[in-house]
């Protein structure tokens, strides 16, 4: 399994995004969960809440640190993944299966997100 | 530029994720905090604690000199016994918390926190009257071997029987051919040893312990293990704003041993009443408490969280913090302000983690 699937888009804040119908599904990348360590708590917005691109929409906590979650695109929260808030460790098990929220986008920010190759390059540059 | 312990190369070789801690380049984890935590609770883990400082008093009057600086009583200890103690200033608040080893009345060896080593040495040098302290911090590496299998592992590598070395007792001898102070102490709530050795031999000792079946553990697991025991961490739970009485460490203050720095202030505080108490609590609603979060009662800030985590063994969101005495009893309830959301908490019995 690739750590960074090629059918996803990525942000510099280490979130991934994927189109699902008209909505955008959002999670954190393999790198994000690896840097965080064991995830023990995830706080998500309510369905119907408005999120803005690049702004915080929630919080993810590992045993040792608290990190904010940043929205790749702006819009309205269409769904949240209750399975992840109930089992935060699933983010470590498979960060791509453990999606966090689904956003009904209000703009076209999705098209400006990084593709897999660009994201992987940015990770290597940051090493 | 971070300082390196003699085991720095070993950590890198073993895949340690390195971070700056108190000016030292230290491994926060190797494979994962929770796995390393569990390893120490169920098997045996190794921690590099070479960054900690060592200060020695030697010569006639060494015991009396050290005893005047710390809250516990080395005169009541026997040779080969160690005591946990506060090193206080005149206000009765912590300069540091230390473990003082009595080799003999003329040889006292004190282990201090890495972040405080220089400050402690300066404090001791300034306040010592006859016997001057010697800073031995660069002469020792220290490896903590912790877990239910720690005793068997160290015994296997040590020629001399260690059965007689009980908790907070120590001896000297060779472990894996390396001369050590072999101390039955630790910071995890598990049985084990802390081994002090020559920095040049630290790698040899470290890898002999690994070959014997121990796994390396990082500062992350060290912190979660000690938090589950409610062991105080200097800089978080105790500091120069808090006394041992506030921190629930009255047992390390020996009132009848004669004068020591801070005693008068502690007596005054005891007479006036302890203004706040360090308690352990767990959240009764979802969330994770963290250091510096406010503790609220009826919407008002009444205290502060000093340490907190999701306990890997307790499986609960646990925290340590200062509250007014009225809220210190087991079962008392309050809220913790987590990102402007009041989250319900209750005071529980500590240590949070109990064997079995």
- Segment A67-116, tens digit of pLDDT: 999 999 999 999 999 999 999 999 999 999 999 999 999 999 999 999 99
Give A21-41 pLDDT, tens digit per residue.
Answer: 999 999 999 999 999 999 999
Q: Using a CB-CB distance cutoff of 8 angstroms, which residues of chain A are in contact with residue B290?
A: 66
What does the pLDDT average to over B335-342? Answer: 96
Fold agreement between B8-50+140-229 and B276-356:
no
Measured between alpha carbons, how far apart are the two ends of chain A, in Å?
22
State whether B33 and A59 contact (CB < 8 Å).
no
Burial class (CB in 10 A: 0-12, 13-18, 19+), B329: exposed
- Could A63 and B286 be called an inter-chain contact, meaning their C-beta atoms sit closer than 8 Å? no
Q: Which CATH class is domain B276-356?
A: mainly beta
d(CA B288, CA A63): 9
Helix (H) or strand (E) run with residue B86 in it: strand B81-88
A41:B286 CB<8 A = yes
The percent of residues in chain B predicted with pLDDT above 90, rounded, is 98
Cβ distance B29 to A59 less than 8 Å, yes or no, reads no
Tell whether B18 lies on the interface with A, counting CB pairs under 8 A: no
pLDDT bracket for residue A127 (50, 70, 90): confident
Cβ of B288 within 8 Å of Cβ of A61? The answer is yes
What is the rounded average pLDDT for all residues in chain A?
94
Both tokens assigned to B268: 């005054």
Given an 8 Å threshold on Cβ–Cβ distance, is B288 in contact with A41? yes
**CATH class given for the domain over B8-50+140-229:** alpha beta
Mean residue pLDDT across chain B: 97
- Cβ separation of B32 and A38 shorter than 8 Å? yes
Q: In this predicted structure, what is the pLDDT of residue B356?
A: 66
Interchain contact, B339 vs A59, CB within 8 Å: yes
Q: Quick one: average pLDDT of B307-321? A: 97
Q: How many alpha carbons fall within 13 Å on the CB side of residue A118?
A: 12
Question: What is the predicted pLDDT for the residue at A1?
Answer: 42
**Interface membership of A37 toward B (CB under 8 Å):** yes
Task: Say whether A64 and B32 touch across the interface (CB within 8 A).
Answer: no
d(CA B200, CA B258): 41
pLDDT range class, residue A126, cuts 50, 70, 90: confident
ipTM above threshold 0.90: no
Q: Tell me the chain A residues in contact with residue B18 when contact means C-beta distances shorter than 8 Å.
A: none
Average pLDDT estimate for B233-238: 98
Pick the CATH number of A37-109 from 2.40.50.100, 3.40.920.10, 1.10.510.10, 3.90.79.10: 2.40.50.100
Q: B291 vs chain A: nearest CA distance in angstroms?
A: 11
Interface test with chain B among A40, A57, A62, A63, by most B beta carbons within 10 Å: A63
Residues A17, A112: contact at Cβ < 8 Å? no
Chain A: give the shortest CA distance to residue B110, in Å.
30
| Strands B178-183 vs B134-135: parallel, antiparallel or unpaired | unpaired
Considering only residues A66 and B1, tell me which one the structure prediction assigns the higher pLDDT: A66
Residues 105-124 of A with CB under 8 A from B: none
pLDDT tens-digit profile of B48-78?
999 999 999 999 999 999 999 999 999 999 9
Amino acid B16: pLDDT: 96
A92, closest residue in chain B (CA to CA): B32
Domain range summary for chain B, segments of one domain joined by +: 8-50+140-229, 276-356
CA distance A108 to chain B (A): 31
Q: What pLDDT is attached to residue B355? A: 83
């Amino acid at each position: 399994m690739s750590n960074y699937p090629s059918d996803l888009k990525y942000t510099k804040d280490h979130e991934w995004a994927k189109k699902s119908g008209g909505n955008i599904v959002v999670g954190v990348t393999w790198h994000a969960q690896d840097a965080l360590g064991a995830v023990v708590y995830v706080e998500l917005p309510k369905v119907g809440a408005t999120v803005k691109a690049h702004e915080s929409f929630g919080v993810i906590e590992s045993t040792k640190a608290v990190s904010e979650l940043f929205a790749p695109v702006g819009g309205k929260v269409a769904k949240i993944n209750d399975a992840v808030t109930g089992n935060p460790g699933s983010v470590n098990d498979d960060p791509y299966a453990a999606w966090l929220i689904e956003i009904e986008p209000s703009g076209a920010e999705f098209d400006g997100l990084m593709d897999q190759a660009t994201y992987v390059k940015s990770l290597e540059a940051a090493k | 530029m971070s300082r390196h312990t003699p085991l720095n190369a070993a950590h890198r070789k073993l895949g340690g994720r390195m971070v700056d801690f108190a000016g030292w380049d230290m491994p926060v984890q190797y494979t994962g905090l929770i796995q390393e935590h569990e390893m120490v609770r169920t098997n045996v883990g190794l921690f590099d604690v070479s960054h900690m400082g060592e200060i020695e008093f030697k010569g006639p009057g060494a015991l009396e000199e050290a005893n005047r600086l710390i809250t516990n009583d080395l005169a009541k200890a026997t040779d080969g016994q160690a005591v946990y103690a506060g090193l206080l200033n005149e206000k009765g608040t912590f300069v540091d918390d230390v473990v003082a080893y009595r080799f003999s009345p003329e040889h006292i060896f004190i282990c201090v926190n890495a972040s405080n080593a220089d400050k402690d040495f300066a404090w001791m040098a300034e306040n010592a009257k006859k016997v001057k302290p010697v800073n031995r911090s660069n002469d020792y590496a220290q490896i903590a071997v912790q877990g239910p299998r720690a005793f068997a592992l160290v015994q296997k590598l040590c020629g001399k029987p260690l059965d007689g070395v009980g908790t907070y007792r120590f001896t000297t001898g060779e472990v894996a051919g390396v001369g050590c102070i072999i101390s039955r102490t630790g910071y995890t709530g598990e049985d084990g040893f802390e081994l002090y050795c020559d920095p040049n031999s630290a790698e040899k000792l470290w890898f002999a312990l690994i070959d014997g079946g121990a796994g390396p553990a990082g500062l992350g697991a060290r912190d979660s293990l000690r938090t589950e025991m409610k062991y105080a961490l200097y800089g978080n739970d105790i500091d120069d704003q808090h006394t041992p009485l506030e921190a629930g460490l009255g047992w390390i203050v020996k009132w009848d041993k004669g004068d020591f720095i801070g005693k008068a202030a502690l007596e005054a505080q005891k007479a006036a009443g302890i203004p706040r108490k360090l308690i352990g609590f767990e959240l009764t609603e979802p969330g994770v408490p963290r250091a510096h979060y406010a503790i609220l009662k009826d919407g008002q800030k009444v205290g502060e969280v000093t340490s907190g985590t999701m306990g890997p063994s307790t499986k609960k969101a646990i925290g340590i913090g200062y509250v007014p005495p009225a809220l210190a009893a087991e079962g008392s309830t309050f809220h913790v302000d987590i990102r402007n959301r009041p989250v319900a908490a209750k005071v529980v019995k500590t240590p949070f983690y109990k064997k079995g």
